[in-house]
Amino acid sequence: MLSEPSTVKSLSKLAKDSLSSIYQERELNAIIFILFEHYLGFSKKDCISRSDDLIDINYTQKIKYAIQKLQYHIPVQYIIGKANFYDLDFYVDKNVLIPRMETEELVNWIIKDINSQKKTKNQLNIIDIGTGSGCISITLKKTLDFVDVTAVDVSEMALKVAKRNADFHNTKIKFINHNILFDKLKLYSEKFDIIVSNPPYIEEKDKPIISKNVLKFEPHLALFVPDYDPLVFYKSIIDFSLVNLKKGGKLYFEINEKFGTEIKKILKEKGLYNIILRKDLNEKDRMVSAEL
């Protein structure tokens, strides 16, 4: 079978036959394009206009091997070692969460807010808590070169990935290995203008409804929180912000759609104001900002 010449069309058919019981049509089409783009450098247009071209046997084998891995529910981003975020490529492996679209929306919100403020050209200090692949920190630094970014994670392996991505994108970020739940008070000599975090926020009890590719392959440290205290990270980071945010500084969170009202309430009780709850493109409560 491996020695048979393959075309984009025949590989595409193989992927659909092998994977349609696992992935919905739209997602599967997107995955197939990711494979052709990654292994062959083909755009969507190339896939259509060159659908009958014979593909080199080495690349045919690589694509077939990737299809086999996809059958085991391994996310395509881990198979190719790459995820796209805000039009930038990030190396990803099992130690980091695959960056999500709602996080791109959070980053976009922060960039728009900063750009709309008068002090834009001044130095801004930003800290990203739970940086994972570094997608938030690196995108902010790459887009707004006048910001100073600190990125924190409890996982040394995640920080290794984030550093690799920072080097790849030629961005200078200060990385710190720290557990935000253990020491939530003063960490640094300077205060921050912006604190951003996409912390773990899925309740353990929701494991049965999480898709297999997430549950089996993405790091649980990045995903789950105990059912008895699902807002543990928000409470810690809000306490951290009371000490480490400059007056007038802003806090941005990505949130679980279930907890918008509760997080707003905690922010208000802790004395933050100008609290804004935002929906993502899927109309779900996904982001909150507040001012100190």
Residues that bind ligand SAM (CB under 6 A): 97, 99, 103, 130-133, 135-136, 152-155, 158, 179-181, 198-200, 221-222
**CB 163, min distance to ligand SAM, A:** 13
Residue from 168, 175, 79, 189 nearest 127 by CA = 175
In whole angstroms, how close is the CB of 132 to ligand SAM at the nearest point? Answer: 3
Our CB check for ligand SAM shows the closer of 60 and 133 to be: 133
Q: How far is the CB of 60 from ligand SAM (least distance, A)?
A: 33
Compare residues 49 and 177 and give the one whose CB is closer to ligand SAM: 177
* Closer of 12 and 131 to ligand SAM (Cβ): 131
Cβ-based nearer residue to ligand SAM, 83 or 245: 83
Looking at the Cβ atoms of 6 and 244, the one nearer to ligand SAM is 244
Under 8 Å between Cβ of 152 and 127: yes
Interstrand relation of 147-153 and 124-129 (parallel, antiparallel or unpaired): parallel
Report how far residue 191's alpha carbon sits from residue 169's, in angstroms, rounded to the nearest whole number: 26
Minimum Å gap between C-beta 219 and ligand SAM is: 6
| Shortest Å, Cβ 178 to ligand SAM | 6
Please, which residue, 131 or 150, has the CB nearer to ligand SAM?
131
User: Beta-carbon neighbour count of residue 39 at 10 Å?
Assistant: 19
- Do the Cβ atoms of 291 and 273 come closer than 8 Å? yes
According to DSSP, residue 189 is labeled S
Rounded least distance, CB 198 to ligand SAM, Å: 4
Q: Which of 258, 88, 227 is nearest to 169 (CA)?
A: 88
Let me know the angle formed at the C-alpha of 277 by 136 and 255, rounded to the nearest 5 degrees: 50
Give dist(CA 110, CA 113) in Å, integer.
Answer: 5
